[in-house]
């Protein structure tokens, strides 16, 4: 019987995808193609147009998200490339809170007239649908960074499609193991590969995946000429990370659930935001279409912003740093960043749960909470 990769479970696909074809003495792993140019006559031509190492990483991401994938030098480069295919002054409907880098980019694009942005509360399904008429793009991020709001993806994607509005979903927090927007009908799914897919906090990369060949060609051309390409070494490292992504993610999601439960009964914590908690305002919606609840949670401490900074500084296992999705747990007070939205509470701590033993993490969190 011939091997059918699309019949495999995702944890298997992460291991089998993006390998060189089998032959006697063929390489098991893609090699790192360090070339700025290629002998004439082939499909690649030049190092800004294509690279064999990128292709292997791209096919592995496609094996998880579906469609065809393009990788970029960072998540923000992927998002900028996605926005760049719209004409000047195009209208975008986007969440009024989400990853601060995207919020900054959208605000800048709106101020310069590059895009007209209609900011909406993405957890308010009717408000999002009401703001769609006449828009060119619905940009969704769910769950949102760092407030963990959940957008009603299946309904919003169908509504945008019915109105012939392109839908793009930032799937960084959820990943393909939680939800697959392309299967729900989205046109493009974006990942900050920097986070869970690569998983070791040692590189930056972004990806866009689409099942629409016309859109793929547009995006590929955009990458060729805006030049925001990934380095071959980063592509190789990311693929190495993807091999263990399902294993890491499963462990981190389990630990995140346990920590969310324990934090929600801690006297120094006033609120925990994690869609997996039955008491969370987003839970009823999340269970409808999310297969896991992710490995990032946010909580508000009983205390000030300064107490939050002290908390993050006083942990010995969890590192006080921005970013998320690595094997090592990280936390930070999001409002320490001037670009973070004022709608994010000053005392909100975002915790990215890594792969350490959950009891060690809990002991560290308890010690740190005792210090404030
Ligand atoms: C980190 C992040 C990005 C940006 O990705 P970079 O790789 O840092 O450029 C975009 N969206 C979300 C939700 C993120 O967490």
Residue 158 has pLDDT above 50, yes or no: yes
At residue 70, the 3 state secondary structure works out as strand
Report CA-CA distances (Å) from 13 to 60, 62, 105, 280, 348.
Answer: 8, 10, 34, 32, 36
What are the pocket residues of ligand 1 if the criterion is a CB atom closer than 6 Å to any ligand atom?
A: 74-76, 99, 101-102, 141, 145, 170, 172-173, 192, 194-195, 204, 206
Query: Given this structure, which CATH class describes domain 245-370?
Result: alpha beta
Q: Is domain 5-241 classified as CATH 3.40.640.10?
A: yes
Q: Give mean pLDDT, residues 137-150.
A: 98
- Name which residue sits closest to atom 8 of ligand 1, judged by CA: 75
Residue 72 near residue 81 (C-beta atoms within 8 A) = yes
Confidence of residue 1 (pLDDT cuts 50, 70, 90): very low
pLDDT of 2 > 60? The answer is no
The closest of 351, 305, 348 to 330, measured between CA atoms, is 351
Calculate how far, in angstroms, residue 23's C-alpha sits from the geometric centre of ligand 1. Answer: 38
Domains 5-241 and 245-370 share a fold: no
Ligand 1, residue 141: give the atom nearest the CA: 13
Residue spans of alpha helices (H) in the chain: 10-16, 52-65, 75-84, 100-112, 125-130, 153-162, 213-226, 232-243, 245-263, 283-289, 305-313, 358-370
Ligand 1 centroid to 99 CA: how many Å?
7
pLDDT at residue 67 is higher than 70: yes
Average pLDDT in the chain: 97
Which of 99, 142, 147, 202 to mutate for ligand 1's pocket (most ligand atoms within 8 Å of CB)? 99
| Domain range summary for the chain, segments of one domain joined by + | 5-241, 245-370
Q: What is the mean pLDDT of residues 176-181?
A: 98
**Closest ligand 1 atom, CA of 205?**
7
Q: How open is the CA angle 255-256-260, to the nearest 5 degrees?
A: 120
């Amino acid at each position: 019987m011939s091997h059918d990769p699309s019949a495999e479970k995702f944890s298997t696909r992460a291991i089998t995808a993006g390998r060189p074809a089998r032959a006697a003495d063929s390489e098991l792993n893609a090699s790192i193609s360090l070339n700025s140019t290629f002998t004439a006559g082939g499909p690649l031509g030049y190092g800004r147009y294509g690279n064999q190492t990128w292709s292997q990483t791209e096919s592995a991401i496609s094996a998880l998200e579906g469609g065809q994938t393009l990788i970029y030098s960072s998540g923000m480069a992927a998002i900028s490339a996605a926005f760049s295919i719209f004409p000047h002054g195009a209208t975008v409907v986007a969440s009024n809170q989400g990853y601060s880098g995207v919020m900054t980019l959208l605000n800048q694009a709106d101020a310069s007239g590059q895009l007209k942005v209609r900011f909406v509360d993405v957890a308010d399904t009717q408000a999002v649908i009401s703001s769609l008429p006449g828009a060119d793009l619905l940009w969704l991020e769910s769950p949102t960074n760092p407030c963990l709001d959940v957008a009603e993806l299946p309904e919003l994607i169908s509504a945008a499609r019915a109105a012939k509005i392109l839908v793009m979903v930032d799937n960084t927090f959820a990943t393909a193991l939680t939800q697959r927007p392309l299967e729900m009908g989205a046109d493009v799914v974006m990942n900050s590969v920097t986070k869970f897919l690569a998983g070791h906090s040692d590189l930056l990369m972004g990806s866009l995946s689409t099942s629409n060949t016309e859109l793929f060609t547009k995006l590929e051309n955009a990458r060729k000429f805006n030049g925001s390409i990934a380095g071959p070494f980063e592509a190789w490292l990311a693929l190495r990370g993807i091999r263990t992504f399902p294993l890491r993610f499963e462990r981190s999601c389990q630990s995140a659930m346990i920590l969310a439960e324990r934090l929600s009964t801690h006297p120094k914590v006033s609120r925990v935001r994690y869609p997996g908690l039955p008491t969370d305002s987003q839970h009823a919606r999340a269970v409808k279409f999310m297969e896991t609840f992710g490995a990032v949670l946010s909580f508000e401490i009983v205390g000030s912003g300064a107490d939050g900074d002290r908390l993050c500084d006083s942990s010995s296992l969890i590192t006080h740093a921005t970013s998320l999705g690595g094997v090592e747990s990280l936390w930070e007070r999001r409002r320490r960043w001037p670009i973070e939205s004022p709608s994010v509470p000053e005392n909100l701590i975002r915790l990215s749960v890594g792969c350490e033993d959950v009891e060690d993490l809990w002991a560290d969190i308890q010690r740190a909470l005792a210090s404030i």
